[in-house]
Amino acid sequence: MEKDGLTIVFTGKGKGKTTAALGIALRATGYKKKICMIQFIKGSWHYGEMDSSKRLEPEFEMVAIGKGFVGIIDDKSSKEDHKKIAKEAIRISNEKIQSGNYDIIILDEINYAVNLELISVDDVLNLITSKPPEMDLVLTGNYARDEVIEVADLVTEMKEIKHPFQRGIKAKKGIDF
């Protein structure tokens, strides 16, 4: 088994962070690698990867923990509820990282969870430093903290140049969710 696992960060205000992480998962399943994606924010909404991820089983496991996007119009959960769920996501992430069952762990929207003060940057750094040396760890979400960027091996910032929303085009099934 390779001992040079990477810490990869997809951040920035442009689209494509989760999509890039899913691209890694798709590629890795082709090599029979075991992947677990833990979603910190998106749990309560229905979106395409909830169904498509089942097609990649048993190599790919998705754990949607969040209660949906925080602080938007239809968010009926308190900040404390979101914090409680995010702490549970940290616990589950640590459990999955330490289990020895996965080659790649994707922590989807974890950077955003830090920015929303649902979890601390120290929670994230502890996950990174505790990962086995052969494991690849992928973190997504805008607002990646400098401390996370510093310890990562690969950081890509998605930058929005143009977005259909600017022209009043709503999110599209299969492209945006």
pLDDT tens for residues 74-104? 556 677 888 998 999 999 999 999 999 999 9
Please state the pTM of the whole predicted model: 0.90
- Residue 34 pLDDT > 70: yes
Cα-based torsion angle of the residue sequence 118, 120, 126, 127 in order, rounded to the nearest 10 degrees: 30
- Work out the pLDDT band at 149, boundaries 50, 70, 90: very high
Q: Please compute the mean of the pLDDT values over residues 172-177 and round it to a whole number.
A: 80
CA torsion sign, 77 to 140 to 19 to 28?
negative
- Residue 119 pLDDT > 50: yes
| Mean pLDDT score of the chain | 89
- Work out the pLDDT band at 43, boundaries 50, 70, 90: low
- Better-predicted residue by pLDDT, 81 or 128: 128
- Residue 67 pLDDT > 90: no
Please enumerate in sequence order all residues whose Cβ is within 8 A of that of 98, keeping only pairs 6 or more positions apart, or say none. 130, 132
Supply the pLDDT for residue 87: 94
Domain parsing of the chain, residue ranges = 7-167
- Residue 157 pLDDT > 80: yes
- Work out the pLDDT band at 51, boundaries 50, 70, 90: confident
Supply the pLDDT for residue 1: 53
Supply the pLDDT for residue 96: 98
Supply the pLDDT for residue 73: 46
Please enumerate in sequence order all residues whose Cβ is within 8 A of that of 130, keeping only pairs 6 or more positions apart, or say none. 94, 97, 98
Pick the CATH number of 7-167 from 3.40.109.10, 3.40.47.10, 3.40.1670.10, 3.40.50.300: 3.40.50.300
Largest alpha-carbon pair distance within the chain? Answer: 49
